């Protein structure tokens, strides 16, 4: 059995008509840029249960080819340009990220719902990309066991 350290974080973001919050689990050592890898997620988006974290290196359905990296930092900006992605109970997907490429950089959320379109250039009417206020803080340093 191996034991590894983990961090627990509270996170939240909001925009007009959108509220999301919950907890992350990350590894306990940041990479050379100060980012921790998100390995688990719980929470809600607009009252709907978050059902899972998407794998780093994939895109949320409807936002291809933009891949997520699931990285978070204590420092600003807390998210990368790739951000993280998760699914919800209704089969929708969300990807908050830091839009460093904008004239005024800031956090955005891409939301994708059925029916999914093949790429981000052809978003459906149910899909959105909104400016958000994002925040995350470490709440617990713990240990994970694996066999």
What pLDDT, on the 0 to 100 scale, is given for residue 1?
A: 45
Which residues lie across from 15 on neighbouring strands?
18
pTM: 0.88
Q: Which residues of the chain have pLDDT under 50?
A: 1-3, 144-147
State the Cα–Cα distance between residues 97 and 79, nearest whole angstrom: 6
Nearest partner of 12 among 122, 139, 141, 116, judged by Cα: 139
What pLDDT is attached to residue 127? Answer: 83
Q: What is the pLDDT of residue 122?
A: 61
Q: Which pLDDT does position 146 carry in this prediction?
A: 45
pLDDT at position 145 is 45
């Amino acid at each position: 059995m191996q034991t590894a350290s983990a961090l627990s974080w509270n996170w939240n973001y909001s925009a007009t008509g959108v509220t999301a919050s919950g907890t992350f689990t990350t590894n306990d050592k940041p990479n050379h840029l100060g980012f921790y890898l998100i390995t688990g997620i719980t929470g809600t988006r607009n009252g709907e249960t978050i059902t899972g974290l998407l794998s780093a290196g994939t895109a949320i359905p409807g936002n291809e080819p933009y891949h997520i990296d699931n990285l978070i930092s204590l420092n600003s900006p807390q998210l990368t340009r790739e951000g993280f992605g998760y699914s919800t109970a209704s089969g929708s997907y969300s990807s908050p990220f830091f839009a460093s490429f904008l004239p005024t950089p800031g956090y955005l959320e891409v939301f994708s719902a059925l029916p999914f379109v093949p790429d981000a250039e052809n978003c459906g009417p149910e899909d959105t990309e909104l400016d958000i206020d994002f925040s995350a803080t470490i709440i617990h340093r713990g240990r994970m066991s694996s066999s």
